[in-house]
Structure 1
Amino acid sequence: MPRFLCLFPFFLFCLFAQESYKANSSQLGEIIADKLSSDKNKIYAKGNVVLISGEYYISADDVVYDKSNKTAEIKGEVRVYKGSDLSFSAKSVKVDFSKDTFSLSSIYLQSVESGLWVSAKEASSQNDVYYFKENTVSGCDIQNPIWHLDSSSGSLDQSDDVLTLWNTRIYIGKMPIFYIPYMSISTNNQRKSGLLYPKVAYLNEDGFYYQQPIFIAPYESWDITLSPQIRTSRGIGISGDFRLATPRDNLLIFQTKYFYNTKKYVQKYSILNQHIYGFNLDFQTRLGTGWFDGYETLNDGFYSNFTYMNDLDYLRIDDAGKKVGDRLSVSRFNYLLHSEEHYFGFYNKLFIDIAQANNADTFQLLPSLQYHKFYDSLFWQNLMYSIDVQANNVMRKEGYGYYENTINIPIGIELPLFDGYLSVGASTDLNFTNINLYQTQNLQIANNPNINYKNANFFTANYSASLATDLAKDYGDFMHTLQLMAKISGPYYRYTSNMFSDNVYKDYSNAVIQISNDSSKTSEQKKFIINNLWNPSSIVDFDTNKHKFEIQLSQYFYNNAGNTLFYYNLSQKLNLQSQDYLFSESMVNEIGSSPIDGLDMKASIYYSFLYNDITEASASVDLEKWHLKTSVGYYYKKLFASNTSSINANFINFSLSNDFGYFSLGGEVNYDFLARQLKDWSVEISTDIRCFGVSLKFAQEIASILTDEGNQPLLKSITNNYVRLEFRFTPLSEVGVSYRFNK
């Protein structure tokens, strides 16, 4: 078989000649074919043409190269391989080496990393950018794709790995389901600027809901996402996310949101806030701030999780179906510095009750300073001590505030006896608290109008003595461990200002009950009086300064695989201060078992001997094994006040899901025995077949909204029923539509 040296640059390939023929061109390569010939300025290669260059391998049926104008025509099944992966194929290719451009017909492109492929009738290329018309894109099998995208035109930038499509129709099989005028896709899963997948839904109160995220990533270190939205029956809004990665691998996220409710919507549903807005800042150092990198024994860190909002609907601006379960939002802004022996902390806490119109009367911790000396030996190895000092500014706009200074010094000793089978411990805790109040113009002390309320002090010296054992025995097939501890504790010296006397604690509790039951006052008047009523329990817990006896029992059984066959924990505290309230605290019983991997069973019962009744109980069973995942949980709580009692919570929840291979089925349900009705429930069926997935979900949920019914803020619950259809296109993303309707 004759061989000739030919010129063939392709995708900027430099091909190297096998024969000794030289040409005045740098585009030289090795070509193998069944038949090679030349005629003046043209070189012909026919039949099983193969070109090799480095890691690239190119096959075709015919190649004609014109040396005069440096163009080549490649016909047949043109295939380009990189290593063992096919990256490009076409029916025919025309290359102009002088302009570094080429045109293709019946092109086929495939991304090795993502698995996406593109086919088009016509295409051209210049500087590593492909331009094509009437193209098809999919991540499924090319012969019969489950899903595909048909576009009028598009481009693929190989240098940036970005696929751009115009006038795109999304098909499942032969059925069109969605239209997108423009979309940009990263073929190697890297951050690229462009439009993200929209959120689409129909909501019974809000109308048609459409949100279009716009992703902007100009640099590797930061990006921005802007997400304007419209709700045709409610209003418009926008949210923005700014993310910054620092050189020390720390991530800063700043998010702000705004939504405008139309006047018609506000009047129809008695919405409290026409303008909903807020922001949140999240930042945490992983490797420290870097300020103390030159000190081996010093480490520091910064943490911020700061949120401000004027309405709980702020949490649902980006997700209309988001369930909000906690009405209290806590923001933190903290810095810490520590060595092996010392710790310093600077804290800030902001509390927002989203059920209130404003939080002017909510206590805030702005700021708090702490110094802590870690446990260390004192004169003797077994005699341990530590020091904790704190200074807190507890403030609010309306009502009294105070500066709190505390010092806590625990000193203790623990001695092992009988080769460690038994240990004896004794300790003392020295606690000092100083309070300086401000904004006291409306402050009242229940039944004690003559007490000086400018400052107060509280000092206690507490004792503690304990006896504990920790035993373990191996029985061959299983191991048994037993821990038993008995402890007695209480104050042996106590000094308090009049503001912390026992009578003030009792008078405050009685005053709150009387004010709450006073029908002659409005709710706002009651709230004002209680907020300005001195509450000593918010600073020093009255019950902690009592003589108590505590007993704890724990035992565990383990098998040889390390699974917990069975465990039982018991604890009981006795109030030695009063014979009538000896059993003022409930006995806690906890049992559980995890005999096999994936199965966890546990239950707890709080029993009060004072009321001869169960105060709290819970039980749960969780199983995640094979293709099955299920969970059952029950919770019960009973409150006691004087001679009356009321059930505060009594509900059960159940969830079950299983993958049957061809499809998976799952659901959950919550039943409230107090309301005698189903609360939240959902049923979902889904399937994933290689490159495609679809799920259909029916659900009901209880949501809370903030209204101004009765000219006062009111947290109102509404019932939402909805259905959601979601499509997953591998390796792209997912898109879904929701319809929410009245119960």
Structure 2
Amino acid sequence: MFKLFILVALLITGATAENIKNNDKVEIYATTMDTNDNVVTAKGDVVVIYQDYHLSAKRARYDRSSGDLELFENIRASQGENIKVLGEYAKLNIANKERTFAPFYMLEKKSDVWLSGDKGYSKAKDINVTSGVMSGCNPNNPLWKMEFTSSEYNTDTMWLNLYNARLYLYDIPVFYTPYFGYSLDTTRRTGVLPPMVGYSQKEGFYYEQALFIAEQNWWDLELKPQIRTNRGSGLYSTFRFVDSKTSKGSLTTGFFKEQDRYFQENILANNKHYGFNFLYDNNDFINQWFGLNLRGQSGIYMDIVNMNDVDYINLSTNDTTQNATTRQLLSRVNLFYNTDSDYVGAYFKHYKDLEIDSNEKTLQSLPSLHYHTYLQTLLEDHLSYSLDIKSDNYYRQAGVSAVQTDLNIPVTLHTSLFDEYLNISYTANMYAQHTAFKNKNEIAAPTNEYDNGLFARNSHQVAASTQLTHAYDDLTHVIEFGSQYQIGGFEMENGYYDEQKDLFVNEQRGDYCAKTVNRSDSEYAARCEFYNIADVEKRLQLYFSQYIYDSLGNQIIYHRVAQNISYENVNSGVGDLENELDYQITDDFNFYNNLFYNYDENSFSKNFNKISYTGKSLNLGLSHMYKNSFSARPVISYMTASVNYIYDKHYSYSFKHDYDLERSEKRGFEIGFLYQKRCWDFGLRYVENNRPILSLKGSSDSIYDRYIYLTIRLKPIMAPGSEGTGFSYRLPDKSRNN
């Protein structure tokens, strides 16, 4: 029969009055109990309850004079719902809040991490373990484990520190670190992130050790120092912040210094690579910043970037699949205020070309001001109109600048006839553009003139369409026939626009300028720089579209055919025939096609095909893009194939191939697999990729890289979805320039 012994005497002799006030009592349940002077001995299924601690053992001994409670044999202890501690000997001092376990074993159930050691000592919320092992795998034969000489764990913060830690995969030592810190919960904290290592014959040994700093909930800082032994070293950092409920931002900066030998051997343009990128998004900045209470929506978006060359991006990571391919940078700041009836915006754009020494002649848009009135209706919704005004300030340090303002007013009259079987509409569009030039004294060529000018015109559109729907037992079929006739009206131009007439010989203005600005040797390219008006083509568009839906409303087929017929004197004739098809063959199979057929060339000008399969374990994708402008521009013929296959809950495989059929050149290739277990992931990838560089001569070359990536993610100390720790080996280059 169980005896209940509540140690009131312990509270009187071993605890202070303050302990009693805080209800620090200890309850002992046991089969038998003996008392000898100040020593109480309990035997047989001993259970001890103290605050949120529950302990069980074969025997217990309590010394009233010292306040020590000792437990012996098969000890199990738990605190709250998560921590389980096992051992053969335990010693607790209630007054001093000290606990000792030998040997020590702890299981944190929430994270599935266990910790064992020769001895564990705990006081208050801190637990110290000496000479132990930690892992998230099965304790009997762990796939990975970390041995350490000492450790510290705080039960409140759930932060674990290991000292002289050695990482083992099975019984093979693979990594040593004098310190390793890890959180057993998901709270953001300061700590060291998994390292990235690699090797390249050209760049040498690569090592990156990231440090994550998160001292407050509203910001964090990630520092990523790296070294490439044969190339150089650098530091990249990202500062992220959340300054309100509706706004957040980040600042990424970086610097890399080349070694003199690598810089000279590779004829690089710069021996230092640096840059930054600032991102910010606020969805209510007017009310927040100016203390207003406007009902409309306001927003500001910033994306400001600068760097001295593309290697700044290429060196920010050792993963060639993330290399930069652009040579031009665009920085943007967008602001807007929006209501149900009006929209006001301001946009700032700054361009930087990395291939030229100076961007003082690069045209910037600082700023563009925009006002738009949403669709308004009259005459019982049969008449609708809107208003759109945009003014662009085109600016540059050297050369002609301009302020260009566009006005667009479409007015539409629409109705339906024959019991809504026929829908007809007429649209009159009023358009005007005014250009005011600045710095006209900096004229590039003596033949160029930059007089302020005004262009105005109207155009007309007449449209007719009908839509029919028929429901079957399992399907619904919707078809639509339509036509739209467009014709220009009056035109008026003076100043700059009137001067353009001398440039047009058997060509439309918009077409001519589109060609001349792409020819740097054209003497007229500068004059066309500010001419961005598209000509109104006198044409007829005929189209047919159809939709097929299943009984649940899911789209099975979307099909559209469109034909343009031009009536212009120069470009008269039948335009390209467009055909678009999206066919959901089954729940898993999809086919998409978009093609344009040119009658004059008797050939396709564009043909894009993609077939994809999306299943539970297999994803397939195969696409081909063909484009022919029938001019001096090269033909584009590009194929992409991808495969992702999940064999079972442990193994998955991936494959991707990008190939330029026109040049018979491989643009990218990747194949790999991922092995996943409950407590670790192991991945291996082989990657080929074209990587751009900026050479000393100012041109952009490319290097064909070949890499082998090894990725290991130890769970749960590396969260699912994270990169884990990785090793990459760069194979010798096939060729330097490609």
Q: TM-score, normalised by structure 1?
A: 0.90
Q: In structure 2, what is the equivalent of residue 523 of structure 1? A: none
Task: Tell me how far apart the structure 2 counterparts of residues 338 and 466 of structure 1 sit (CA, whole Å).
Answer: 31
1:24–1:288: structure 2 CA closer, same or farther, 3 Å change rule? Answer: closer
Matches within 5 A, 1:18-167: 26-52=23-49, 56-82=53-79, 85-167=82-164
Q: In structure 2, what is the equivalent of residue 613 of structure 1? A: 603
Matches within 5 A, 1:149-188: 149-188=146-185
Instruction: Quote how far apart the aligned CAs of 1:341 are.
Output: 0.8
Task: Tell me how far apart the structure 1 counterparts of residues 543 and 443 of structure 2 sit (CA, whole Å).
Answer: 43
Instruction: Quote how far apart the aligned CAs of 1:426 are.
Output: 0.8
Q: Is the 8 A contact 1:697 1:723 kept in 2?
A: yes
Q: Is the 8 A contact 1:332 1:350 kept in 2?
A: yes
Instruction: Quote how far apart the aligned CAs of 1:737 are.
Output: 0.3
Task: Tell me how far apart the structure 2 counterparts of residues 353 and 572 of structure 1 sit (CA, whole Å).
Answer: 39
The C-alpha deviation readout for 1:475-528, integer Å capped at 9, x for no partner, is: 1121111122211113211112253345435599879989999xxxxxxxx57x
Task: Tell me how far apart the structure 2 counterparts of residues 303 and 466 of structure 1 sit (CA, whole Å).
Answer: 38
The C-alpha deviation readout for 1:284-334, integer Å capped at 9, x for no partner, is: 124555348864632211111221122112222321322324444332211
Task: Tell me how far apart the structure 2 counterparts of residues 580 and 340 of structure 1 sit (CA, whole Å).
Answer: 42
Task: Tell me how far apart the structure 1 counterparts of residues 381 and 550 of structure 2 sit (CA, whole Å).
Answer: 37
Q: In structure 2, what is the equivalent of residue 19 of structure 1? A: none
1:423–1:25: structure 2 CA closer, same or farther, 3 Å change rule? Answer: closer
The C-alpha deviation readout for 1:620-645, integer Å capped at 9, x for no partner, is: 1111102001110101111223xxx6
Q: Is the 8 A contact 1:95 1:103 kept in 2?
A: yes
Q: In structure 2, what is the equivalent of residue 305 of structure 1? A: 303
Task: Tell me how far apart the structure 2 counterparts of residues 438 and 274 of structure 1 sit (CA, whole Å).
Answer: 38
SS of the residue corresponding to residue 313 of structure 2 reads: helix
Q: In structure 1, what is the equivalent of residue 553 of structure 2? A: 562
Paired positions, count: 712
Q: Is the 8 A contact 1:444 1:532 kept in 2?
A: no
Instruction: Quote how far apart the aligned CAs of 1:671 are.
Output: 1.9
The C-alpha deviation readout for 1:141-191, integer Å capped at 9, x for no partner, is: 111111111122221112211111122111111111222222211110211
1:473–1:514: structure 2 CA closer, same or farther, 3 Å change rule? Answer: closer
Instruction: Quote how far apart the aligned CAs of 1:406 are.
Output: 1.6
Task: Tell me how far apart the structure 2 counterparts of residues 211 and 297 of structure 1 sit (CA, whole Å).
Answer: 48
Matches within 5 A, 1:489-504: 489-497=486-494, 499-500=496-497, 501-504=500-503
2:657 matched to 1:659? no
Letter in 2 for 1:314: Y
Q: In structure 2, what is the equivalent of residue 534 of structure 1? A: 527
SS of the residue corresponding to residue 535 of structure 1 reads: helix
Instruction: Quote how far apart the aligned CAs of 1:253 are.
Output: 0.7
SS of the residue corresponding to residue 640 of structure 1 reads: coil
Q: In structure 2, what is the equivalent of residue 5 of structure 1? A: 6
Task: Tell me how far apart the structure 1 counterparts of residues 383 and 609 of structure 2 sit (CA, whole Å).
Answer: 42
Instruction: Quote how far apart the aligned CAs of 1:354 are.
Output: 3.8
SS of the residue corresponding to residue 416 of structure 2 reads: strand
Q: Is the 8 A contact 1:134 1:153 kept in 2?
A: yes
Instruction: Quote how far apart the aligned CAs of 1:355 are.
Output: 4.1
Q: Is the 8 A contact 1:198 1:212 kept in 2?
A: yes
Task: Tell me how far apart the structure 2 counterparts of residues 683 and 229 of structure 1 sit (CA, whole Å).
Answer: 27
More displaced stretch, 659-668 vs 170-179: 659-668
> Root-mean-square deviation (CA), in Å?
2.8
Instruction: Quote how far apart the aligned CAs of 1:574 are.
Output: 2.3
Q: Which runs of 5+ in 1 are unaligned?
A: 15-21, 518-525
Q: Which runs of 5+ in 2 are unaligned?
A: 719-723
Among 683, 694, 699, which residue is 1:714 paired with? 699
The C-alpha deviation readout for 1:79-102, integer Å capped at 9, x for no partner, is: 223566553333322223333222
Instruction: Quote how far apart the aligned CAs of 1:435 are.
Output: 0.7
The C-alpha deviation readout for 1:523-548, integer Å capped at 9, x for no partner, is: xxx57x76971115x543343x2222
Instruction: Quote how far apart the aligned CAs of 1:455 are.
Output: 1.2
1:591–1:533: structure 2 CA closer, same or farther, 3 Å change rule? Answer: same
Letter in 1 for 2:337: L
Instruction: Quote how far apart the aligned CAs of 1:262 are.
Output: 2.2
Task: Tell me how far apart the structure 2 counterparts of residues 44 and 505 of structure 1 sit (CA, whole Å).
Answer: 109
Q: In structure 2, what is the equivalent of residue 638 of structure 1? A: 628
Q: In structure 2, what is the equivalent of residue 316 of structure 1? A: 314
Task: Tell me how far apart the structure 2 counterparts of residues 8 and 586 of structure 1 sit (CA, whole Å).
Answer: 98
The C-alpha deviation readout for 1:198-240, integer Å capped at 9, x for no partner, is: 1111133322111111111111111111211111111111112
Instruction: Quote how far apart the aligned CAs of 1:139 are.
Output: 0.9
SS of the residue corresponding to residue 265 of structure 1 reads: helix
2:468 matched to 1:477? no
Task: Tell me how far apart the structure 1 counterparts of residues 325 and 709 of structure 2 sit (CA, whole Å).
Answer: 21
Task: Tell me how far apart the structure 2 counterparts of residues 398 and 69 of structure 1 sit (CA, whole Å).
Answer: 88
1:667–1:327: structure 2 CA closer, same or farther, 3 Å change rule? Answer: same
Q: Is the 8 A contact 2:283 2:297 kept in 1?
A: no
Q: Is the 8 A contact 2:585 2:591 kept in 1?
A: no
The C-alpha deviation readout for 1:702-741, integer Å capped at 9, x for no partner, is: 1111112xx3x11111111111111111112221100012
Q: TM-score, normalised by structure 2?
A: 0.90
1:367–1:9: structure 2 CA closer, same or farther, 3 Å change rule? Answer: farther
SS of the residue corresponding to residue 4 of structure 1 reads: strand
Task: Tell me how far apart the structure 2 counterparts of residues 115 and 698 of structure 1 sit (CA, whole Å).
Answer: 33
Task: Tell me how far apart the structure 1 counterparts of residues 277 and 516 of structure 2 sit (CA, whole Å).
Answer: 40
Q: Is the 8 A contact 1:103 1:123 kept in 2?
A: yes
Q: In structure 1, what is the equivalent of residue 215 of structure 2? A: 218
Q: Is the 8 A contact 1:348 1:366 kept in 2?
A: yes
Letter in 2 for 1:540: N
Task: Tell me how far apart the structure 2 counterparts of residues 6 and 334 of structure 1 sit (CA, whole Å).
Answer: 71
Q: In structure 2, what is the equivalent of residue 626 of structure 1? A: 616
Q: In structure 2, what is the equivalent of residue 587 of structure 1? A: 577
Q: In structure 2, what is the equivalent of residue 377 of structure 1? A: 377
Q: Is the 8 A contact 1:3 1:36 kept in 2?
A: no
Q: In structure 1, what is the equivalent of residue 661 of structure 2? A: 673
Instruction: Quote how far apart the aligned CAs of 1:405 are.
Output: 1.3
Letter in 1 for 2:313: L
Q: In structure 2, what is the equivalent of residue 596 of structure 1? A: 586
Task: Tell me how far apart the structure 2 counterparts of residues 7 and 377 of structure 1 sit (CA, whole Å).
Answer: 85
Q: Is the 8 A contact 1:558 1:565 kept in 2?
A: yes
Letter in 2 for 1:715: S
Instruction: Quote how far apart the aligned CAs of 1:137 are.
Output: 1.2
1:25–1:492: structure 2 CA closer, same or farther, 3 Å change rule? Answer: closer
1:249–1:122: structure 2 CA closer, same or farther, 3 Å change rule? Answer: farther
Task: Tell me how far apart the structure 1 counterparts of residues 107 and 168 of structure 2 sit (CA, whole Å).
Answer: 19
Q: In structure 1, what is the equivalent of residue 230 of structure 2? A: 233
Task: Tell me how far apart the structure 2 counterparts of residues 705 and 587 of structure 1 sit (CA, whole Å).
Answer: 41
Among 691, 695, 710, which residue is 1:725 paired with? 710
Q: Is the 8 A contact 1:9 1:27 kept in 2?
A: no
SS of the residue corresponding to residue 179 of structure 1 reads: strand
SS of the residue corresponding to residue 486 of structure 1 reads: strand
Letter in 2 for 1:392: D
Report runs of 4+ in structure 1 exceeding 6 Å deviation.
7-10, 22-25, 507-517, 529-532
Task: Tell me how far apart the structure 2 counterparts of residues 546 and 444 of structure 1 sit (CA, whole Å).
Answer: 32
Letter in 2 for 1:483: E
**Seq. identity, %:** 24
Instruction: Quote how far apart the aligned CAs of 1:340 are.
Output: 1.0
Matches within 5 A, 1:199-214: 199-214=196-211
More displaced stretch, 299-308 vs 393-402: 393-402
Letter in 2 for 1:719: Y
